[in-house]
Amino acid sequence: MNTATNSPQPALDAGGTPLVQARGLGFRYRSISGGGKQALDDLSFSIGPGRVVGLLGHNGAGKTTLLKAMVGLLRPSSGSLSVLGRDPARERLSLLSEACYIPDVATLPRWARVGELITLLGGTHPRFSAERARELLRRTSVGERDRIKTLSKGMLAQAHLALIAAIDARLMILDEPTLGLDVLSRKSFYEMLIEQWCDGERTLIVSTHQVEEIETLLSDVLMLNEGRLVLATSLDEIDRRYVGLAHEPQVADAVAAAHPLLRYRTPRGAAAVFEGEPPASVLALGQRVRPSLVDLFLALTRRPELDRTQF
């Protein structure tokens, strides 16, 4: 993945064909009155194999719309989108043989036992491994004889992930997969996901509001704001491109005079985020720190007067 621009960029990986590529992608929800909402606006990015991509944005920023477009549930209004070399809207069945998706309102049939779902998927999905699903289940607190309706939210998430991760896919797309789970269940979910599915060749795209919990797992990030792409880059590039500065309150005016992207308070004092290296005289006013993804997201979405295509 690369920094967003007005034109498509090559994949970030060291070689190979991009698994996902968008060029000027747009989508507009129509209304009966003839108006509507521009949910996605001129997105251009590419994602290569072996990446773990965080999709970040406020509620209503366009995250779910983008993920639905990737799996063929929505046809873009403009631009183009290729996923695993396919047009998702026209080749959805073929696409889903190599991609798997857990939506934000994912449900499993409440009447079924987990083992019955394994049997069902084993007979219907050509790339599903029942043996693999059972192996993954043994790492959870879920049993094959458990009925879906008896599972807690955390157990349900574990069961769903075990079923999906047992598909020999090249791409996994998750939309708020741990919504409503407690912190221990979320930690268990992501540990299982990273350890048992990500292998350096498969790519994972995950949308979440628990940014702090997955930041260390990510290789790349996509940030959306009001349907526009404000950032599409690797975490390594973020470290090179953005500088955080923790400083004492008494030098706040001097730091502000250097025009940081964001000034904010922390439990230990004041801080600022700069794009690019600030002057040495400004760095001398505080301590250089790595801005978190949350801080960076606030910095890039709290300034509506900026032309966001520059990010």
For domain 20-226, the question of CATH label 3.30.70.260 is answered with: no
Q: Identify the pLDDT of residue 16.
A: 60
Strand order in the sheet with 242-247: 262-266, 269-275, 242-247, 286-289
Give mean pLDDT, residues 12-23: 74
Question: For residues 217 and 303, what is the distance between their CA atoms, to the nearest angstrom?
Answer: 28
Q: Identify the pLDDT of residue 89.
A: 93
Residue 111 has pLDDT above 60, yes or no: yes
Give mean pLDDT, residues 182-192: 86
Other CB atoms within 10 Å distance of the CB of residue 89: 15
Residue 72 has pLDDT above 90, yes or no: yes
Give mean pLDDT, residues 226-236: 92
Give mean pLDDT, residues 194-213: 88
Give mean pLDDT, residues 216-226: 93
Q: Identify the pLDDT of residue 21.
A: 96
Using a 10 angstrom Cβ sphere, with 0-12 exposed, 13-18 middle and 19 or more buried, the burial of residue 165 is buried
Residue 205 has pLDDT above 90, yes or no: yes
Q: Identify the pLDDT of residue 39.
A: 93
Q: Identify the pLDDT of residue 305.
A: 41
> Highest mean pLDDT range out of 104-108, 180-184, 247-251?
247-251
Dmax over CA atoms of the chain, in Å, equals 68
Residue 83 has pLDDT above 90, yes or no: yes
The rounded radius of gyration (Å) of the Cα atoms in the chain is: 21
Domain boundaries, the chain: 20-226, 238-310
Q: Identify the pLDDT of residue 200.
A: 83
Residue 91 has pLDDT above 60, yes or no: yes
Torsion angles phi and psi, residue 19, rounded to 5: -80, -35
Half-sphere exposure for 202 (CA within 13 Å, toward CB): 20
* Interval 36-59: pLDDT, tens: 788 999 999 999 999 999 999 988
Which residues touch 65 (CB under 8 Å, ≥6 apart)?
A: 27, 39, 40, 74
Average pLDDT, the chain: 86
Q: Identify the pLDDT of residue 54.
A: 95
